Amino acid sequence: MSELLTAAQMRAIEMAAIESGEVTGLELMERAGRGVVEAIFEEWPELAKTSQRAVVLCGPGNNGGDGFVVARLLKEWGWEVEVFLYGDAEKLPPDAKVNYVRWREMGEVGSYPDYDKRETWQCDLLVDALFGTGLTRGLPDLGELFWNLDDMVDCFEIEFGHELGRPAVVAVDIPSGVCADSGRDFPNSDDHFRFSARAHMTVTFHSKKPGHLLNDGPVGCGKTVVADIGLSRSDEPGSLSRQTLIEKHGERWLGRVISRAVEPPLSPYLSKETDEHKYAHGHALVLSGGVGKSGAARLAARGALRIGAGLVTLGVPPSAQMEVASQITALMLQRVEGSEGLESVLEDARLNALCLGPGLGLARARELVPVAVRAKHAPDVVLDADALSAFADEPAQLFDLLHERCVLTPHGGEFKRLFPDIHAKLVEVPTKGPAYSKVDATREAAKRVGCTVLFKGPDTVIADQMGRCSINSAHYERSAPWLATAGSGDVLAGFITGLLARGFSTMSAAETGAWLHVECALEFGPGLIAEDLPEQLPAVFRKLEL
């Protein structure tokens, strides 16, 4: 998994490298600008073969300095380049000012209002180097530009050489107006226009930032490329970058303040060994609702079995026994009528992972959740859907039951009902940055309940009670819109339960289950329904060479 650095963490790493003498600010700016140009030519190789027209919009900070470097390098490549500055050249930071002067030796610098008056793009490439990761406020006077950029990216195909201009739009570090820590915009009073830019491609430096994966950040970024600017890795023991973050946060807290992107390599324990028997991979129990309501639990159970749990049993009330029995084969069935029935079943300590919620029913959930969570042998417990909604009126009743071996998997509505105060902060209009993010919200929720919380969405965020946090992004090349179908969340709950049965930690089970969930959707593609998800796991596992 790769680390996702906040704007403040990234600034600290850059400053440490500069102060150590390892590199100068000018060298970092040169590397950044060169990284942008290299990314452009890699994405659109035809642009490197001939002279084209570029417009570079530079802002008043170091992001603008990167833009001046991009302009100079494109000019040296033989391009026609126009540069427009938003702000006062005399107030540019020192390194940006040096690159402004270097560009002025090659070409003119117009003022941004002059460009804003144009009715057409008049270029093949437009570079947004206005505001980067340091932005903490709204940009009302750029709203019309942002609107036009959105129109260009959303409504027109890139067409190099077009008379009026159908340019590729490239953002430096992050589209202007987007908070790098949260992926949120900074709204302003001029709500007729957009609050942030859009791009076909965003080139960021050293590592992705949370805002590249959260909220609407990925929509604005288009595609995100990470350019290496020669800084040491922050996850490398003994490196200057890591030492800087330790000094900033403390070594004990480092894993609790840096979020990560969920990506391969996954846990080595996902495979199975030849000398293991079924009980080596645990026994999961999925509790079902009554007659006509058992489908969701069967989806979860199928997911748990497919992901490798040694045995999976459906705990079914008497009314649904015939219904369930006629629908299952490899899954087992156990009658569980009420709290006493569940207590009796849980005397079997081999049942090491429980799943409650999918199709369970609110009344049955209120009765069974306390028994499951407080089982004497302390199995891992996944609470989803009805197991969360059953306590919406009194969330504290649920929270008092929970322990560190629980996993909560709320979607947005369930999160709002369980954590109304946290949700209110998440949807509050940010007036200054960094804006409160989904990472902040999930961490706060996990700390409150003392267990792992998986906050669903295309930007699924997973956090545990210690503050460790990761983002499973279903954006960019992993965009999986067909997951928006009834029952897909039930399968995810089953995936996590199955991994817990196999001995995964709650955090690892949630991360791995969420990642595999998206991969299964991508494997199947359009037309996906929930029943298809578990059946894609064999193909996904083969690709992982398990």
Residues 216, 295, single domain; the answer is: no
CB atoms within 10 A of CB 431: 12
Q: Which domain holds residue 358?
A: 281-474+482-541
Q: Is 62 part of any known ligand binding site?
A: yes
Are both 88 and 165 inside the same structural domain? yes
Asked which of 230, 264, 297 is the last residue of a domain, the reply is: 230
Is 236 within a domain? no
Q: What is the DSSP letter of 173?
A: S
Give a yes or no: residue 241 inside a domain. no
In terms of domains, do 221 and 335 share one?
Answer: no
> What's the confidence (pLDDT) of residue 480?
96
Q: What is the pLDDT of residue 256?
A: 84
Q: 532 a known binding residue?
A: no
Q: What pLDDT is attached to residue 61?
A: 96
Confirm whether residue 457 is marked as ligand binding.
yes
CA distance linking residue 386 with residue 392, whole number of Å: 10
Cα–Cα nearest to 373, from 405, 329, 349: 405
199 contacts 222 by C-beta, under 8 angstroms? yes
Q: Is 412 labeled as ligand-binding? A: no
**Residues 154 and 89 grouped into a single domain:** yes
Give CA–CA dist 480/477, Å, rounded.
Answer: 9
Residue 12 lies in a domain: no
Consecutive H or E run containing 286: strand 283-287
Same domain, 534 and 411: yes
Identify whether residues 307 and 214 lie together within a single domain.
no
Residue 189 confidence (pLDDT): 67
pLDDT of residue 527: 97
In 3D, which of 540, 445, 533 has the Cα closest to residue 494?
533
Q: What is the CA radius of gyration of the chain?
A: 26
User: Is residue 298 domain-resident?
Assistant: yes
Q: Does 128 belong to an annotated binding site? A: yes
Domain count for the chain: 2
Does residue 16 sit within a domain? no
Classify residue 55 as left (phi > 0), alpha (psi -120 to 50) or beta: beta
Among 203, 194, 195, 206, CA closest to 222: 203
Residue 450 annotated as binding? no
In a domain, 262, yes or no: no
Nearest CA-CA partner of 455 in 388, 359, 546, 377: 388
> Measured between alpha carbons, how far apart are the two ends of the chain, in Å?
18
**CA 384 to CA 381: how far, in whole Å?**
10
- Single residue among 191, 210, 230 that ends a domain in this structure: 230
Q: Look at residues 279, 323, 322, 330 and name the one whose alpha carbon lies nearest to residue 303.
A: 330
To the question of whether residue 380 is assigned a binding role by annotation, the answer is no
Residues 181 and 288 in one domain: no
- Kindly state whether residues 213 and 320 are assigned to the same domain: no
What is the edge-to-edge ordering of all strands in the sheet holding 459-463? 2-4, 259-261, 469-473, 459-463, 452-455, 406-408, 380-383, 351-356, 283-287, 311-316, 332-335
Q: 255 labelled as ligand-binding? A: no
Q: Which of 286, 259, 243 is nearest to 434 (CA)?
A: 259
Three-class DSSP category at 157: coil
456 marked among binding-site residues: yes
Q: What is the CATH number of the domain that holds 412?
A: 3.40.1190.20
Q: In the prediction, which pLDDT does 543 show?
A: 96
Region for 272 from its dihedrals, namely left if φ exceeds 0, alpha if ψ lies in -120 to 50, beta otherwise: beta
State yes or no: 61 annotated in a binding site: no
Instruction: Please check if 136 is assigned to a binding site.
Output: no
Q: Are residues 224 and 153 in the same domain?
A: yes
Instruction: Answer yes or no: do 290 and 220 share one domain.
Output: no
Across 423-505, where does the E strand assignment appear?
452-455, 459-463, 469-473
65 is in an annotated binding site: yes
With beta carbons less than 8 A apart as the criterion, state whether 390 and 319 touch: no
Q: Does 230 count as an annotated binding residue?
A: no
- pLDDT recorded at residue 183: 96
Sheet holding 201-205, edge to edge: 109-111, 80-85, 53-58, 125-129, 168-172, 201-205, 224-227
Domain boundary among 201, 230, 259: 230
Q: Strand, helix or coil at 94? A: helix
Q: Answer yes or no: do 177 and 101 share one domain.
A: yes
Question: Would you say 490 is a known binding-site residue?
Answer: yes
In a domain, 257, yes or no: no
Residues 287 and 224 reside in one and the same domain = no
- The CATH code of the domain that includes 61 is 3.40.50.10260
431 is in an annotated binding site: no
* Contacting residues for 67 by C-beta, under 8 A, at least 6 apart: 33, 56, 57, 58, 59, 83, 127, 129, 130, 172
Each residue's pLDDT, cut to its tens digit, for the chain (546 residues) gives 899 999 999 999 999 999 999 999 999 999 999 999 999 999 999 999 989 999 999 999 999 999 999 999 999 999 999 999 999 999 999 999 999 999 999 999 999 998 988 888 999 999 999 999 988 888 888 989 999 999 999 999 999 999 999 999 999 999 999 999 999 998 876 666 789 999 999 999 999 999 999 999 999 999 999 999 999 988 888 899 999 999 888 877 788 889 999 998 888 889 999 889 998 999 999 999 999 999 999 999 999 999 999 999 999 999 999 999 999 999 999 999 999 999 999 999 999 999 999 999 999 999 999 999 999 999 999 999 999 999 999 999 999 999 999 999 999 999 999 999 999 999 998 888 899 999 999 999 999 999 999 999 999 999 999 999 999 999 999 999 999 999 999 999 999 999 999 999 999 999 999 999 999 999 999 999 999 999 999 999 999 999
241 is in an annotated binding site: no
